[in-house]
A and B are shown apart, each in its own frame.
Chain A
Amino acid sequence: METIQLTDSAKLLFIKNDRFKTTRITVNFYMPLEYDLYSEIAMLPFFLTSCCRKHPTPALLTKHLNELYGSVLSATAEKLGDNRRVGFTISALDDKFSIDGSKPMEEAAKLLCDVIFDPSVENGEFLDVDFQREKRLFCELVESEKNDKRQYARTRLENEMFNDSPYGLAELGSIESARAITKQGLFAAWQKMLKEGNIGINIVGAAVPEKFVEDIKARLASVERTPAQLNYDSEQLIEGDLKFAEDREDITQGKLCIGLVAPGGENEAERAAMTMANDLLGGGTYSKLFTVVREQLHLCYYCAARISRLKGYMVIDSGVESENADKAKEEILRQLEEIKAGNFSDEDISSSKKSLCNAVKTAEDTASVMDRWYASRFLDDSPASPAEYRASITNVSREEIIRAAAKIKPHTVYYMLPKEEEK
């Protein structure tokens, strides 16, 4: 792996892998998480990747991507602790696989810079036709989250857990604030991103595309930059009385989501121990939630736990029959106590370590996963490599798992139930 410092606040990480037939480039802008321009910043990457000055309609941009052997351009907007990541990605065939002497990777790298830095602008504004079209599509994207009930239930839980901070907003914001986006607000968000974003570029492939480094440096030099101070320590939840929330929706299968305080820890060893506590509770097929809550007691169809490293919390989500929702909640919390009491076998610990290490080692075979690995560790002083992570997992002791589990405390219980029934 190689790091190239492009400017004081822009660095490029090259993750060399010459087994792939493609190269993948992601340009990420990291900014502190704020209410101000929240939805505009969420909409921005989708807007910018729809077209640009050199390819001024979505059809023309798509035609260009087709010409580049089906290169794939995509956008991301996500929370990273108390920060935002706005990402622009292109993945293209390496030039050696072109059958007509053209250079799809070199052209794709140029296109990525064009969409970020050179959109269609007239008189200091985005074009109305582009704005109206993309605003409609963005609003539909925000509204469509409700179609995936499992994801929507998790979003609702986080709304309730973090209701006094911007972290409680859905990744793309609410439909009300999406509808309120103006052309001027979106333009301001773009200017803010270019000016204040801390830039992390990841490249996964055989080589850094020729001329990409000079191109991106030149583009950055043309923008006045005062990068914002990021939140390296995210505000953690405070324990308190258990909160409850409930929605009634038109659904057949109910959802039960439990949010818990699960502090990330001061160092890689503590984080690894918390990861294992989470995994033993609700990760693999050896976990308590799978073996007991699902398989033995049949209280749910799915039941799994996931941890947020930076923000220090855990989400357990399950699909339940509404008549089992309370029983499932009680049993899930009882299984957490089992983990705290150290009631898991050495074989479970071994399975968990092997499973977590297997997943990370497998990740090295996929460019998008490696890209995301480092993108999510941008805030770390020295981001652990997959190999270092595996070592930290392997070294976790039973006592460390129990110490980590002791810090896990239930915070909020959220039910999404069929409309006809009341809890």
Chain B
Amino acid sequence: MKVENYKSSFLSESYSVATMDNGLKIYVLSKEGYASTYAVFGTKYGSVNIKFRTDKDKEFIEVPAGIAHFLEHKLFESEEGDAFAKFARTGAYANAYTSFDRTGYLFSCTEEFEANLTHLLSFVSDPYFTEETVAKEQGIIGQEIKMYDDSPDWRVFFNLLTSVYHNHPVRTDIAGTVESIAEITPELLYDCYNTFYHPSNMYLCVVGNVKAEDVFAIAEKCITTKGTQNIENYTPHEPEEVCQEYCVQQLDVAKPLFALGFKQDPNVAATPKARVATELLLEIMSGHSSELYTKLLEENLVNPEFSFEHFTGSGYSVIIFSGESSDPQAVAQRIKDEVAALASRGIDKDAFQRIKRKNFGQTVMMFNSVEGLSSALTECAIRGEELFDFEKIYNSISEQDLLDVLATMKAERTALSVIEPKER
């Protein structure tokens, strides 16, 4: 196995990356003196991967929405019982999650790390699906879908995605629908598992009270798959324009929630520098020290829930502003006006330096947290990037980098999603 080591003298931190012959990438960051260790074993497979093929398939295979999430639930079961039970015996905390472009299985422990890691790698590598267990899970996930139907934050976000995207599967709820999961069979689960849960599509990230060489040794013992596998994901054609400019739903909320999305060319977020530039730009433009936020606050149009995010992955990229407001349409217009105004006046030098400093400081603070670092390493694994890049980016990023991002924010490619109170 090939091992590369990375170090930051400034932070007094280092980590190692090993690549096994079967393509599995293993990231280990040792945190001396920490009591706990956090491990995530994940696959680059999420809710957007609903049409795909491998080298062995002539045609693309299309699967029902929500299957990646369904698979995540099912992997905890085996013929011997529930995977949680073994973690419980060592006292470890275990969980899993499915997102748009990844699924992760994790544990956190302060003892018996080797046993817990061996168990994690083993149960994820050992699928077991039957008609009976699939039927049971359809009921449980059906209830989960209903729970999220009641969540205004979840709904305002997903309604935005369906408004922005015509065809890209990111517009579909991660858990699917009650109807789509009814189509899932054990055979489909095995098809997806065998495609995406191959080590060459997976990663292991471990942070905490461990030594890299111990982790590598356990992985070599447990992950014995030979060879690699290529996967081709089908990305449907997606027009530049949004699907619909406005969408509203009524729920039991005290005040309207909104999410405004600027649809971008998915390639704009291709580099770490571009993503940092986007974060800095959004903070300067609409963060809590900005003129835009101050005015909106004074005019009672927003509250401290007002925030922004750069939502991006394979084939999709949206800049999203969200919050609560008595007049979401007015807030949306003011944001669009500010984009235009900023393009004409340029980036304020003091604001640029100040926000760079904030961003730098908060990135350093992240190194306190084993869980935070594990997430950061997961990003590195998925994007093929390096954790300490932020130091170089901080030194080289310029106002022009921010203006380049600003130029991609087109007012004619926006959608506004609103959740408004039900009439009482």
* B residues less than 8 Å from A298 (CB atoms): 136, 139-140
Interface contact A362-B35, CB-CB below 8 Å: yes
Interface size class, chain A: 35 or more
Q: Tell whether A358 pairs with B93 under 8 Å between CB atoms, given A69-B358, A70-B365.
A: yes
Interface contact B252-A21, CB-CB below 8 Å: no
A135-143, A263-271, A306-314, A402-410 - interface stretch = A135-143
Q: Tell whether A62 pairs with B88 under 8 Å between CB atoms, given A22-B365, A71-B361.
A: no
Kindly report which residue of chain A lies nearest to residue B136, judged by CB atoms: A298
Q: Tell whether A70 pairs with B358 under 8 Å between CB atoms, given A250-B252, A285-B85, A362-B36.
A: yes
Kindly report which residue of chain A lies nearest to residue B87, judged by CB atoms: A285
Interface contact A319-B147, CB-CB below 8 Å: yes
Interface contact A362-B294, CB-CB below 8 Å: no
A253's partner among B89, B139, B147 (CB-CB below 8 A) is B147
The answer to whether B339 has its CB under 8 Å from any CB of chain A is: no
The answer to whether B248 has its CB under 8 Å from any CB of chain A is: no
* A residues less than 8 Å from B109 (CB atoms): 358
The answer to whether A3 has its CB under 8 Å from any CB of chain B is: no
Interface contact A357-B254, CB-CB below 8 Å: no
Interface members, chain A 286-315 (any B CB < 8 Å): 286, 294-295, 298, 300-302
Interface contact A359-B354, CB-CB below 8 Å: no
In the docked arrangement, what's the CA distance between A251 and B358, Å? 40
The answer to whether A57 has its CB under 8 Å from any CB of chain B is: yes
Interface contact B354-A67, CB-CB below 8 Å: yes
Count of interface residues, chain B, beta-carbon cutoff 8 Å: 71
The answer to whether A9 has its CB under 8 Å from any CB of chain B is: no
The answer to whether B84 has its CB under 8 Å from any CB of chain A is: yes
Interface members, chain B 265-314 (any A CB < 8 Å): 287-291, 293-294, 297-298, 300, 303-305
Interface members, chain A 23-54 (any B CB < 8 Å): none
A117-125, A210-218, A233-241, A364-372 - interface stretch = A364-372
* A residues less than 8 Å from B390 (CB atoms): none
Quote the shortest CB–CB distance from A172 to chain B (angstroms): 13
* A residues less than 8 Å from B110 (CB atoms): 357-358, 361-362
Kindly report which residue of chain A lies nearest to residue B12, judged by CB atoms: A21
The answer to whether B364 has its CB under 8 Å from any CB of chain A is: yes
Q: Tell whether A285 pairs with B84 under 8 Å between CB atoms, given A59-B294, A70-B361, A71-B361.
A: yes
Quote the shortest CB–CB distance from B358 to chain A (angstroms): 4
Q: Tell whether A21 pairs with B364 under 8 Å between CB atoms, given A144-B254, A252-B149, A358-B111.
A: yes
Interface contact A253-B368, CB-CB below 8 Å: no
The answer to whether B367 has its CB under 8 Å from any CB of chain A is: yes
In the docked arrangement, what's the CA distance between A136 and B151, Å? 24
Quote the shortest CB–CB distance from B281 to chain A (angstroms): 15
A77-85, A182-190, A348-356, A374-382 - interface stretch = A348-356
Kindly report which residue of chain B lies nearest to residue A360, judged by CB atoms: B110
The answer to whether B253 has its CB under 8 Å from any CB of chain A is: yes
The answer to whether B7 has its CB under 8 Å from any CB of chain A is: no
The answer to whether A335 has its CB under 8 Å from any CB of chain B is: no
Q: Tell whether A146 pairs with B88 under 8 Å between CB atoms, given A70-B365, A137-B304.
A: no
Quote the shortest CB–CB distance from A86 to chain B (angstroms): 19
Quote the shortest CB–CB distance from A372 to chain B (angstroms): 15
Kindly report which residue of chain A lies nearest to residue B209, judged by CB atoms: A365
Interface contact B287-A62, CB-CB below 8 Å: yes
Interface members, chain A 235-293 (any B CB < 8 Å): 249-253, 284-286
Kindly report which residue of chain B lies nearest to residue A66, judged by CB atoms: B358
* B residues less than 8 Å from A357 (CB atoms): 91, 110
Interface contact B289-A69, CB-CB below 8 Å: no
Interface contact B150-A149, CB-CB below 8 Å: yes
Q: Tell whether A354 pairs with B354 under 8 Å between CB atoms, given A58-B294, A66-B289, A140-B324.
A: no
* B residues less than 8 Å from A141 (CB atoms): 303
Quote the shortest CB–CB distance from B286 to chain A (angstroms): 12
* B residues less than 8 Å from A162 (CB atoms): none
In the docked arrangement, what's the CA distance between A144 and B291, Å? 26
The answer to whether A2 has its CB under 8 Å from any CB of chain B is: no
* B residues less than 8 Å from A67 (CB atoms): 354, 357
Bitwise, B78-99 to A at CB < 8 A (1) or not (0) is 0000101101111111100000
Interface contact B91-A351, CB-CB below 8 Å: yes
In the docked arrangement, what's the CA distance between A295 and B143, Å? 13
Q: Tell whether A354 pairs with B357 under 8 Å between CB atoms, given A143-B254, A149-B150, A250-B252.
A: no
Q: Tell whether A140 pairs with B254 under 8 Å between CB atoms, given A298-B140, A365-B370.
A: yes
Interface contact A253-B143, CB-CB below 8 Å: yes
Interface contact B91-A358, CB-CB below 8 Å: yes
Q: Tell whether A59 pairs with B288 under 8 Å between CB atoms, given A69-B360, A285-B88.
A: yes
Bitwise, B218-260 to A at CB < 8 A (1) or not (0) is 0000000000000000000000000000000001111101000
Quote the shortest CB–CB distance from B178 to chain A (angstroms): 11
Interface contact A63-B88, CB-CB below 8 Å: no
The answer to whether A104 has its CB under 8 Å from any CB of chain B is: yes
Kindly report which residue of chain A lies nearest to residue B391, judged by CB atoms: A99
Interface centre among A97, A302, A353 (most CB of B within 10 A): A97
Interface contact A62-B289, CB-CB below 8 Å: yes
The answer to whether B355 has its CB under 8 Å from any CB of chain A is: yes
In the docked arrangement, what's the CA distance between A364 and B92, Å? 15
Interface contact A355-B288, CB-CB below 8 Å: no
In the docked arrangement, what's the CA distance between A311 and B250, Å? 38
Q: List 21 A-B contacts (CB under 8 A).
A: A19-B31, A19-B32, A62-B288, A63-B354, A66-B289, A66-B355, A69-B357, A93-B364, A97-B10, A97-B11, A300-B143, A301-B144, A301-B146, A301-B147, A302-B147, A321-B143, A356-B91, A358-B92, A362-B35, A362-B108, A366-B368
**New A-B contacts (4) at CB < 8 Å, excluding given A19-B31, A251-B150, A253-B147:** A250-B422, A354-B111, A355-B93, A357-B91
Report the 4 A-B pairs with minimum CB-CB distance, sorted nearest first: A354-B91, A69-B361, A143-B254, A250-B252
